[in-house]
């Protein structure tokens, strides 16, 4: 309980309850707690009433427009911040970013200017619930104040509340504005407890003509509510930073705790998956945009308790929306016959009649199941597999009455199982890619990344994919160098066939190609020399027997001449002489002598 109170106290900005009595609209009284010595032009238009808030950069005053009579909030920089040009520029950026937006749940900007006391913003004043004394101005009332005072919101109330914030942030993103500082103290509640998003001081305008205010490497983080990537380099954040902020706000609304104490078990199961996905530390794993988060939240509202009708009394015309008695066949306004077919047994019934009179099928359940099936298919195409698995649970109460309903339910379960398998496969691919990189199996890594890209829209492996060619080339060059050093020439030739000439490595590749080519030429020379040696040996071995056979004539003289010359070669002659003794002939004898020796 003490931890809970501490977390609530952290979210609530210290402020005194402001109970101010407005002077009459045309009262010329200048009594105010805000004293100034210069800048009278602004005071001539606005009557200063009270300081109502402040932070590290600026201070906010309550004032009344003398001409229009309306109450406004005026934001100015602290005197100590006036010399910081970056802070002044940031204040103007906040005004321009907010002024470009016109949404019911975003505070409106009335004026922007600068006088001798520095820049200022005149904006809509959002007062909280009305006080008993109608003449008093209701003080500001934030989301943190509400949860601190009344405790965590009911689930349906929290979902509806955050869905409104989602629509406002979607609108801001469509206008190229990212808030980047969504937290309970930056959500004001009006008299009807409707939210208003304020403080766009850290907003990022993503237009080509907008001046960047966040320097590379700058860190901006509201503890528990700021996306983790803002801590490392706030200039690189995108719309997913606001997705994180909205998930953190929903966690706060439901639990009353700062998300830095995030525990999944604190959340109701129906919204656990959306919030966990929104608060992913890795932004690649979050919703790609606020629309995805809002869509799932709208589908995960707590189920209602409305009782189902037990009898068919009326039917509603789908063309003119007229309610007709069930006994009337044609619409009393447009004449439509109201005929529809049962999704289970195809028997004809009236549009708007919930239960089929033949098979008893619940038309609303079948219609809801068909909508869920179509939405699951669309999300499968968008590769939002986690959403598909969640949507499957939304029709867990569907009870089919026949074969058509069972077939519909089977399709839903098949898509759900396919989505879960795709999620499991994506997880396995990540582990396999890491293993493949550690083992330098880059061809396998490339095929795994291609498979992953078929299962996801994120760019988790883009950087690795860009480096694969270089990594593979370095590995093959090492293998080629080792193969040549170990005289594994065939392996080296195979590597050279697969390696492409790459920039500065081309000269090294040409050198290796020259070594392999030189070895190939030397191998051909040795092979040919061996063939010549074999032929010469055969000649010498056969020359003696032919001589002994009594060959004669010019041809035999020519054929015998090399054998006689070989006899004179030291070493060779002794071998041939021994060989002749075995077969009783001499290489030195003339052919005319037959097989006799001519020694």
- The rounded percent of the chain whose pLDDT value lies above 90 is 16
Q: Reply yes or no on whether the pLDDT at 546 is more than 70.
A: no
Mean pLDDT, residues 188-200 taken together: 90
Give the residue, 254 or 591, on which the prediction is more confident. Answer: 254
What are the CA-CA distances from residue 428 to residues 149, 385, 420, 451, 596 (Å)? 47, 15, 12, 11, 88
pLDDT for the residue numbered 348: 67
- The rounded percent of the chain whose pLDDT value lies above 70 is 72
pLDDT for the residue numbered 548: 61
Residue 570 pLDDT level (bands cut at 50, 70, 90): confident
Q: Reply yes or no on whether the pLDDT at 589 is more than 80.
A: no
Query: pLDDT tens for residues 236-245?
Result: 788 999 999 9
pLDDT for the residue numbered 180: 85
Mean pLDDT, residues 13-22 taken together: 37
What are the CA-CA distances from residue 257 to residues 1, 8, 148, 354, 463 (Å)? 11, 6, 10, 43, 37
Query: pLDDT tens for residues 440-468?
Result: 888 888 899 888 888 887 778 888 888 88
Query: pLDDT tens for residues 287-305?
Result: 889 998 998 888 776 444 3
Mean pLDDT, residues 562-585 taken together: 71
Give the residue, 212 or 472, on which the prediction is more confident. Answer: 472
The reply to whether the predicted model has a pTM over 0.75 is no
Give the residue, 122 or 223, on which the prediction is more confident. Answer: 122
Query: pLDDT tens for residues 32-58?
Result: 333 343 445 678 888 888 888 876 677
Q: Are 65 and 72 in contact (CB under 8 A)?
A: yes
pLDDT for the residue numbered 202: 60
pLDDT for the residue numbered 242: 93
Mean pLDDT, residues 122-146 taken together: 84
Mean pLDDT, residues 481-502 taken together: 77
Cβ atoms within 10 A of the Cβ of 578, count? 9
Gyration radius of the chain over CA positions: 44
Give the residue, 103 or 500, on which the prediction is more confident. Answer: 103
Query: pLDDT tens for residues 51-74?
Result: 888 766 778 899 999 888 899 999
Question: For all residues of the chain together, what is the average pLDDT?
Answer: 76
pLDDT for the residue numbered 33: 32
Mean pLDDT, residues 306-320 taken together: 54
Please, which contacts does 389-397 make with residues 24 or more away whose CB atoms are closer than 8 Å?
389/416, 389/419, 389/420, 389/423, 390/273, 390/274, 390/296, 390/299, 390/300, 391/299, 391/416, 392/416, 392/419, 394/299, 394/300, 395/365, 395/368, 395/369, 397/365
Q: Which CATH number fits domain 32-127: 3.40.50.300, 3.30.70.100, 3.40.50.2000, 3.30.200.20?
A: 3.30.200.20
pLDDT for the residue numbered 537: 76
Residue 545 pLDDT level (bands cut at 50, 70, 90): low
Mean pLDDT, residues 483-487 taken together: 81
Query: Could you give the 3-state DSSP secondary structure of residue 28?
Result: coil
pLDDT for the residue numbered 106: 92
For the chain, give every residue range classified as CATH 3.30.200.20.
32-127
Query: pLDDT tens for residues 373-411?
Result: 888 898 888 888 888 888 888 787 787 878 888 888 888
pLDDT for the residue numbered 547: 61
Mean pLDDT, residues 260-287 taken together: 88
Give the integer Cα–Cα distance in Å for 555 and 551: 9
Tokens of 42: 């602004």
Q: Reply yes or no on whether the pLDDT at 331 is more than 90.
A: no
Mean pLDDT, residues 91-99 taken together: 75
Backbone φ, ψ for residue 275 (5° rounding): -70, -40
Q: Of 192, 177, 112, 184, which is closest to residue 145 (Cα–Cα)?
A: 184
Helix, strand, coil percent content, the chain, rounded in steps of 5: 50, 10, 40
Q: Would you identify the CATH topology of the domain 143-299? A: Transferase(Phosphotransferase); domain 1 (1.10.510)
For the chain, give every residue range classified as CATH 1.10.510.10.
143-299
């Amino acid at each position: 309980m003490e931890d809970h109170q501490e977390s609530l106290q952290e979210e609530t900005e210290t402020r005194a309850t402001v109970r101010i009595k407005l002077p009459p609209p045309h009262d010329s009284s200048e009594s105010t707690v805000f004293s100034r010595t210069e800048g009278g032009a602004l005071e001539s238009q606005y009557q200063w009433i009270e300081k109502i808030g402040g932070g590290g950069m600026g201070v906010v005053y309550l004032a009344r427009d003398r001409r229009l009579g309306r109450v406004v909030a005026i934001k100015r920089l602290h005197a100590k911040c006036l010399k910081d040009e970056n802070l002044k520029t940031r204040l103007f950026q906040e005004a321009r970013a907010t002024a470009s937006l016109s949404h019911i749940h975003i505070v409106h900007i009335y004026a922007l200017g600068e006088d001798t006391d520095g820049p200022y913003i005149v904006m809509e004043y959002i007062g909280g619930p009305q006080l008993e004394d109608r003449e008093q101005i209701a003080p500001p009332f934030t989301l943190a104040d509400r949860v601190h005072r009344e405790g965590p919101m009911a689930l349906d109330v929290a979902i509806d509340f955050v869905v409104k914030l989602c629509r406002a942030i979607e609108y801001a993103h469509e206008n190229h504005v990212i808030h980047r500082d969504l937290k309970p103290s930056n959500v004001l509640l009006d008299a009807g407890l409707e939210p208003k998003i304020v403080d766009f001081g850290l907003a990022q305008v993503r237009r080509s003509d907008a001046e960047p205010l966040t320097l590379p490497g700058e860190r901006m983080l509201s503890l528990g509510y700021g996306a983790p990537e803002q801590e490392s380099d706030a200039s690189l954040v995108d719309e997913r930073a606001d997705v994180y902020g909205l998930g953190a706000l929903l966690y706060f609304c439901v639990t009353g705790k700062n998300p830095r104490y995030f525990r999944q078990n604190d959340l109701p199961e129906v919204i656990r998956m959306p919030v966990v996905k929104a608060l992913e530390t890795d932004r690649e794993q979050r919703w790609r945009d606020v629309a995805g988060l809002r869509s799932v939240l709208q589908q995960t509202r707590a189920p209602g308790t409305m009782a189902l009708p037990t009898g068919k009394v009326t039917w509603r015309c789908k063309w003119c929306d007229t309610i007709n008695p069930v006994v009337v066949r044609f619409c009393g306004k447009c004449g439509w016959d109201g005929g529809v077919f049962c999704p289970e047994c195809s028997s004809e019934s009236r549009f708007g009649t919930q239960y089929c009179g033949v098979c008893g099928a619940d038309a609303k359940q079948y219609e809801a199941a068909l909508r869920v099936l179509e939405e699951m298919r669309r999300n499968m195409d968008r590769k939002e597999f986690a959403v598909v698995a969640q949507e499957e649970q939304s029709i867990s109460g569907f009870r089919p009455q026949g074969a058509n309903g069972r077939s519909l339910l089977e399709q839903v379960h098949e898509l759900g199982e396919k989505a879960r398998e795709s999620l499991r496969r994506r997880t396995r691919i990540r582990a396999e890619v890491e293993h493949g990189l550690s083992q330098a199996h880059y061809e396998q890594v490339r095929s795994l990344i291609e498979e992953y890209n078929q299962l996801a829209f994120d760019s988790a492996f883009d950087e690795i994919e860009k480096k694969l060619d270089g990594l593979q080339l370095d590995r093959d060059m090492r293998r080629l160098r080792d193969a040549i050093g170990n005289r594994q020439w065939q392996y080296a030739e195979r590597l050279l066939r697969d390696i492409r000439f790459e920039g500065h490595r081309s000269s090294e590749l040409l050198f290796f190609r020259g070594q392999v080519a030189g070895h190939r030429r030397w191998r051909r020379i040795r092979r040919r020399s061996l063939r010549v040696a074999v032929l010469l040996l055969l000649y010498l071995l056969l020359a003696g027997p032919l001589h002994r056979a009594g060959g004669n004539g010019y041809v035999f003289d020519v054929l015998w001449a090399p054998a006689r010359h070989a006899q004179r070669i030291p070493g060779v002659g002794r071998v041939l002489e021994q060989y002749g003794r075995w077969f009783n002939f001499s290489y030195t004898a003339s052919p005319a002598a037959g097989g006799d020796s001519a020694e």
